[in-house]
Amino acid sequence: MRVVAAMSGGVDSAVAAARMLDAGHDVVGVHLALSQSADTLRESARGCCTIEDAGDARRVADRLGIPFYVWDMAERFREDVVEDFVAEYRAGRTPNPCLRCNEKIKFAALLDKALALGFDAVATGHYAQVVEVPDEDAPSRVRRELHRAVDAGKDQSYVLGVLDADQLARSFFPLGDTVKEDIRAEAAGRGFAVAKKPDSHDICFISDGNTRAWLAERLGAEPGPVVDTSGQVLGEHGGAHGYTVGQRRGLGLRTPAEDGRPRYVLQTDTRTNTVVVGPEELLGVDRISGEHARWCGPAPAGIVEVGAQVRAHGEEYPAQAWADGDRVEVRLHRRVRGVAPGQSVVLYEGTRVVGSATIAATGRG
């Protein structure tokens, strides 16, 4: 099978490419140039897509003896990920750019280009497992399911929940059955210089990690009121886009709560530039309405029992869910704190990823 190995320049994608080669595939390494200023050097473990990363990926490919190319997708990344991120915050939502990158770049733009060039599949260094099972509609064939990785601490099935069945059928995740420390040991044994390279962190295009300052540069700093649920003004903020549901620190409150308990962001309204705060107990929700549903296989038929996860490395909560066209309704069996519109809810059946949706609204039953 002819396979494009997406090589970021990190240890995970290096070992993934090597394992695909060991499995007998015809492998070509591809580094995605996603930064429009990739000629700068890495300044921290957060950054990615720098000239250093491209060089690290090339050295691994040379050691493996496989062809290596750099594909420029900076403009597509800017439009589909970075501008989407800014637009979501402008609308008062809290997006996950990693899911959008996987959906729009790695398993749409990259896979589409690979298929157009005659390749059969794409392999990445994500920590997740693909399991082949008999196809109920055609027992002589198999279908592919997406499952959690063996290493729970590194599991990335949440950010892969945007893949549909066709994309999953042409995707490989060779690291899903291995824990991270063994991946580093394997990289060292193969002589990869990236064996001890630190992992990059979210959000890759905000290299210093200061999301609020980064957004302020693009959306502006516009002071507005911080109010309680009755509308009483408690303080002032520098822009509602810099806050997210569940946030406790940095609220700039002038008036302490009468009971002395901390207060949290309950809602941001970018239309009125208002941040609403309140006690912790008001953060809990047990109803989620999702839009832009993506199913890793068949959509649920009727009401199904699932596990619902609303953060990349968060807890999985028991719930019921049902599909309604490109929307999904989720009823959690207990209330969950700090769920914000714009986040993604990913649904599981055991370790299997059922699908995902972007959270449009939350409520309390």
Tens of each residue's pLDDT in the chain, 365 residues: 999 999 999 999 999 999 999 999 999 999 998 876 644 434 444 445 677 889 999 999 999 999 999 999 989 999 999 999 999 988 888 899 989 999 999 989 999 999 999 999 999 999 999 999 887 776 778 889 999 999 999 999 999 999 999 999 999 999 999 999 999 999 999 999 999 998 876 688 887 778 888 888 898 888 999 999 999 999 999 888 888 899 998 887 887 787 888 999 999 888 889 999 999 999 999 999 999 999 998 899 999 999 999 998 899 999 999 998 899 999 999 999 989 999 999 999 999 999 999 999 999 88
Fold of 283-363: Elongation Factor Tu (Ef-tu); domain 3 (2.40.30)
CATH 3.40.50.620 assigned to domain 2-125+174-196? The reply is yes
**Segments making up each domain of the chain, as ranges:** 2-125+174-196, 221-281, 283-363
48, 98, 101, 296: the active-site residue: 101
* pLDDT score for 70: 94
48, 49, 98, 204: the active-site residue: 204
Q: Cα–Cα distance between 205 and 82 in angstroms, integer?
A: 8
Instruction: Please tell me whether residue 232 adopts helix, strand or coil conformation.
Output: coil
For 186-213, letters b (16+ CB in 10 Å) and e give: bbeeeebebbebeebeebbbbbeeebbe
The pairs formed by 219-227 with CB atoms below 8 angstroms and a separation of 24 or more are 219/86, 219/89, 219/90, 222/273, 224/272, 224/273, 224/274, 224/275, 225/273, 225/274, 225/275, 226/251, 226/252, 226/253, 226/274, 226/275, 226/276, 226/277, 227/274, 227/275, 227/276, 227/277
Q: Cα–Cα distance between 112 and 207 in angstroms, integer?
A: 28
* pLDDT score for 18: 98
| 256 burial via Cβ count (<10 Å: 0-12, 13-18, 19+) | exposed
User: pTM of the entire structure?
Assistant: 0.90
The CATH class for the domain spanning 221-281 reads mainly beta
* pLDDT score for 202: 64
The pairs formed by 47-53 with CB atoms below 8 angstroms and a separation of 24 or more are 47/200, 47/204, 47/207, 48/8, 48/9, 48/200, 48/204, 49/8, 49/204, 52/9, 53/8, 53/9, 53/10
* pLDDT score for 190: 98
Task: Determine whether 49 is an active site residue.
Answer: no
Q: Cα–Cα distance between 158 and 309 in angstroms, integer?
A: 8
Task: Determine whether 296 is an active site residue.
Answer: no
